[in-house]
Structure 1
Amino acid sequence: MVLSRRAAMGSASPALVTGIRTALVMLGTGLTLATSAMAFVSVRMARRVVTPAARVADTRILSLDTAAQTITLESTPDTRLPGRYGLFTSGSESYLKLGSVLAEDATSVKRKLLTEVDGNARLAPEAAFSGWYFDRPEQLHLPFTSELIGSSVGPCPAWLFPAEGSDVWVIQVHGRGTTRAETLRAVPVFHGLGITSLVVSYRNDGEAPRSRSGTYALGATEWRDVDAAVGFARRRGAGRVILMGWSMGGAIALQLELTSAHRDAIVGLVLESPVVDWRIVLAYQAKLLHLPAPVTGLAIGALQSEWATPVTGAGAAIPFDRLDVVARAAELRHPILILHSDDDGFVPSDASHDLVVARPDLVELQVFDVARHTKLWNYDQERWSQSIRQWVLQNVLPSPEAADAD
């Protein structure tokens, strides 16, 4: 005979009943605490995504030999990379240019200093490794002017590098947590092709004005400031415009390609280590932090919900569907060159590969290995530069100008 739950409980001993009730209460409390903890971590992740990031130390200076002009750093996947890089420091020097790896072991990497450091230099141990290399426009030894571009949030600073040869301009858009100096590496390549470069800033990047919320929208609003730069370029004589975006700057450039009122002037995009689908990027970064998959889902859900903006700090709901360019690939109009390392380590190349599959008629992908995030120029400058030159000559410049530029 099957007893009802009430009858079964009634026939049990008082001690057993008490134990069952206690266990149920503890289970319910545990589930509540686990859910609360997951919600807390999700909110922290969401806030981190939209909060402008300050540069943080990611390596340590172990020794400095001013006589030999070498520096020894803590070994990391970035500091072990071959090529030329930069190092943000504090003390008597704020930025150093680094050359090739001279020696390394399991814990340290010795590199050549390309910035001369005198014997009186005093540097704090904490430092940040960078792919910038050039940190000021003067270091390119090209004519330039400082400009202000009017946008809906106010005047955004820019550098203009004029070139003779064509009416083509390239607008350089930096990534998340950096400033426009990140993109200076690309200016000489375009200048050699007779293309004018406009190196821009956008809201909340530390140089351009702050929006009301002071947070990123992952490209959903920042594109408007860059669109203002396209208008600036057209007023200054640009007939055709290339957009070049680095990391989150790639997401911004893609939003212009899909949304800009100046789409008739855009002739192509060059994307360096770009964000093509934010969901893939956030899931990847959560995995690096050993966060469970539901945390990422909750964080994305909060960021794309208007009601959660007071908690996440976002100025408005983040439209992840609109920012997913693979899903919107049919809307693309212009040729796109993507430069991405399969060993990026920050923005996985999966969505870049997916975009090629979705639009093989428009998208060309140059796959690098080892090079890491936005450090492709540093790792293999010749291949990086030649890839851009060939793509421009094939897709943008007419043959007479191409012959002259080449």
Structure 2
Amino acid sequence: MNAPRRAAGPRASQRTNPGLRVTLSALGVALAASATALGAVSLRVARTVVRPAGRRPDTRIVRLDAAAQTITLGRSPDTVLPGRYGLFTVGSADYLRVGSIVGEDEDTVTRKLLTHVPADGDLAAEAAFSGWYFDKPDDLLLPFQSIDIDTGVGACPAWEFPAHGDTDVWVIQVHGRGTTRSETLRAVPVFHALGISSLVVSYRNDGDAPRSPSGTYALGATEWRDIDAAIGYARRHGARRVLLMGWSMGGALSLQAALESPHADVIAGLVLDSPVVDWRTVLNFQGRAMRLPAPVIALAERTLASNWGATALRSGEPIPLDRLDGVSRAAELRHPVLILHSDDDGFVPADASHALAQARPDLVTMETFTVARHTKLWNYDETRWTSAIQEWIRGQGLARD
């Protein structure tokens, strides 16, 4: 008779080393903490995208010489740009205009001051460098009136600059993210000289217009309706052909209006300056600039586009990034488009603009700049910028001159 077999002990594969168990537990905690951190950073990125933000200082004022009419600024990619610019001073109502560079070294840039400042003028050490140049409609020395445009969120203020004489061609100027309608004033004289009336508009949550219920940006998904209301206003006041000119995020709004508006039949074309054509391209570019891991950027995009993200962000509705992608919707375009974009924009990369031009060469004309950076093309090379718009407008048969 065989001897009874002893009960077998645990198999080696079933035995767990106590040290390994501790290591795995610690790894699980670390992974959970990493996932939590990734989610928190992604949520913060998404929240930054949708929350309206005011102007932030980005320039250091080193010295003001009222006698010589010069101002010395800290050196940066913006402050070394040739041309005419604006300077918002922190803690002061002063808006300064600066002109050509008259001196520079490794740390500073001295520019001609085009605004009179009293000799005892006291400016803060920080300012915001701007491409606006004109900060109020009176600066243009053109007739205008302040109006309100009825929209789904209330009355949105606008400035109307009528052309000399009768015209049925209007242009609606749409500013970018984090700015106001004054950003677009630079373009008004160009269209005025072509016999075109200008409507400089505001839209929900921009600081001039009423807030939406959520108080957040939808990146063009809802704001285009305010542009549509402006088109309706223009039609009721004699417009039969309407141009949309969008700057930065205003480009996204203009594209959405062209694709979605019930008034699309009167849209004669689009002029886009440094436009957001695809938000994912911008988010990826900005994320890389901030050295964020790719998973953080991807999760931020999913947050923006999801129902759970809308709840977390309190944005009301998910943001349809697919529908805001002008390149993927290129086949739907029906109107001629002029894009002006700098290849070293520094904020909104020109990649999607080039992609749209390549996808629809029958409709899209691309005018590429370098050095000019974001929405500062007029400032950097006013002659070329103006000529490009004038030639394109005349080519569309929209000029009265």
TM-score (norm 2): 0.96
Once residues 96 and 396 of structure 1 are traced to their aligned partners in structure 2, the CA distance between those partners, rounded to angstroms, is 38
User: Is residue 33 of structure 2 the alignment partner of residue 33 of structure 1?
Assistant: yes
Contact 1:93 1:121 (C-alpha < 8 Å) held by counterparts: no
Q: Is the 8 A contact 1:132 1:182 kept in 2?
A: yes
Match of 2:390 in 1: 389
The offset of 1:102, in angstroms, is 1.1
Cα-to-partner distance string for 1:49-81 (whole Å, 9 max, x where unaligned): 000011100111011111101111111100110
CA deviations 1:201-243 (Å, max 9, x no partner) are 0000000000000000000000001100000000000110000
Name the SS of the counterpart of 2:277 in structure 1. coil
Once residues 11 and 60 of structure 1 are traced to their aligned partners in structure 2, the CA distance between those partners, rounded to angstroms, is 65
Distance change >3 Å, CA 5–CA 215, structure 1 → 2: farther
**Aligned residue runs from structure 1 range 7-406, under 5 A:** 7-8=11-12, 17-91=17-91, 93-163=93-163, 164=165, 166-397=167-398, 401=400, 405=401
Larger relative helix fraction: 1
Q: Measure how far apart 1:6 and its partner are.
A: 5.2
Secondary structure of the corresponding residue to residue 149 of structure 1: strand
Letter paired with 1:212: P
Q: Secondary structure at the match of 2:323?
A: helix
Residue 133 of structure 1 aligns to which amino acid in structure 2?
Y
> Residue 312 of structure 1: CA displacement?
1.8
Say which SS state the counterpart of residue 321 (structure 1) adopts.
coil
CA distance in structure 2 between the partners assigned to 1:145 and 1:210 by the alignment: 23
Could you say what the CA RMSD is over the residues aligned between the two structures, in angstroms? 1.5
Distance change (3 Å), C-alpha of 1:248 and 1:6: farther
Q: Deviations over 1:270-305 (max 9, x none)?
A: 000000000000000011111011111101101111
How far off its partner does 1:10 sit? 7.2
What is the alpha-carbon distance in structure 2 between the residues aligned to residue 271 and residue 148 of structure 1? 24
Q: Is the Cα–Cα contact under 8 Å of residues 268 and 396 in structure 1 kept in the other structure? A: no
Relative to structure 1, is the Cα distance of residues 5 and 143 closer, same or farther in structure 2, using a 3 angstrom cutoff? farther
Alignment-mate amino acid for residue 195 of structure 2: G
Whole-angstrom CA distance in 1 between matches of 2:226 and 2:9: 66
Q: CA deviation at 1:315?
A: 2.1
Deviation per residue, 1:11-38 (Å, 9 max, x gap): 78xxxx2211111111111111111100
Moved over 4 A (4+): 9-12
> 1:332 corresponds to which letter in structure 2?
L
- Greater mean deviation of Cα atoms: 365-374 or 93-102: 93-102
Q: 1:5 to 1:151 in 2, by over 3 A?
A: farther
Report the more deviating stretch, 292-301 or 93-102: 93-102
After superposition, the C-alpha distances for 1:128-183 in whole angstroms (9 at most, x for unaligned) are 00000000000000000000000010000000000035310000000000000000
Q: Which amino acid aligns with 1:362?
A: L
Is the contact made by 1:243 and 1:266 (CA closer than 8 Å) also made in structure 2? yes
The question of whether the paired residues in 1 share the 8 Å contact of 2:45 and 2:300 is answered with: yes
**Contact preservation (8 Å) 1:47, 1:314:** no
One-letter amino acid of the structure 1 residue matched with residue 113 of structure 2: L
Which residue does 2:5 correspond to in 1? none
Contact 1:165 1:195 in 2 (8 A): no
Is the CA contact 1:183–1:246 (under 8 Å) kept in the aligned structure 2?
Answer: yes
Distance 1:361 1:64 in 2: 51
Matched letter for residue 251 of structure 2: G
2:374, 2:265 → 1: CA distance? 31
Is the 1:50–1:313 Cα contact (8 Å) retained in structure 2? Answer: no
- Following TM superposition, by how much is the alpha carbon of 1:383 offset from its aligned partner in structure 2, in angstroms? 0.2
SS in 2 for 1:206: coil
8 Å CA contact 2:84–2:379 kept in 1: the answer is yes
Aligned identity (percent) is 63
Q: From the superposition, tell whether residues 312 and 5 of structure 1 become closer, same or farther in structure 2 (CA, over 3 Å).
A: farther
Bigger shift: 158-167 or 325-334? 158-167
Distance 1:23 1:140, change over 3 A: same
Matching residue's letter, 2:150: G
SS of the equivalent of 1:334 reads: coil
Q: Answer whether contact 1:271 1:338 (CA < 8 A) is retained.
A: yes
Equivalent residues of 1:92, 1:121 under 8 A apart: no
Given that 2:57 and 2:90 are in contact with CA atoms closer than 8 Å, whether structure 1 keeps it comes out as: no
Confirm or deny: 8 A CA contact 2:82 2:100 kept in the other structure: yes
Cα deviation for residue 126 of structure 1 reads 1.1
Task: Please report how far the alpha carbon of residue 106 of structure 1 lies from its aligned counterpart in structure 2 after TM superposition.
Answer: 1.6
Q: Secondary structure at the match of 1:138?
A: helix
Contact 1:279–1:320 under 8 Å retained in 2: yes
State the SS of the aligned residue for 1:117.
coil
Determine the C-alpha separation between the residues in 2 that align with 1:307 and 1:44.
15
Structure 1: gaps of 5 or more residues: none
Question: Would you say how many aligned residue pairs link Structure 1 and Structure 2?
Answer: 393
Offset of residue 5 of structure 1: 12
The 1:108/1:6 distance shift into structure 2, 3 A limit, reads farther
8 Å Cα contact 1:61/1:73 also seen in 2: yes
Q: TM-score, normalised by structure 1?
A: 0.95
> After the TM superposition, which of the residue ranges 314-323 and 345-354 deviates more from structure 2?
314-323
Amino acid across the alignment from 2:312 = V
Output the CA distance in 1 between the equivalents of 2:267 and 2:15: 80
Tell me the distance in 2 between the aligned counterparts of 1:71 and 1:42.
Answer: 40
Residue 9 to residue 102, structure 1, CA distance change in 2 (3 Å): same
Q: Secondary structure at the match of 1:60?
A: strand
- Once residues 18 and 378 of structure 2 are traced to their aligned partners in structure 1, the CA distance between those partners, rounded to angstroms, is 68
Cα shift at 1:262: 0.5
- Which runs of no fewer than 5 residues in structure 2 stay unpaired? 1-7
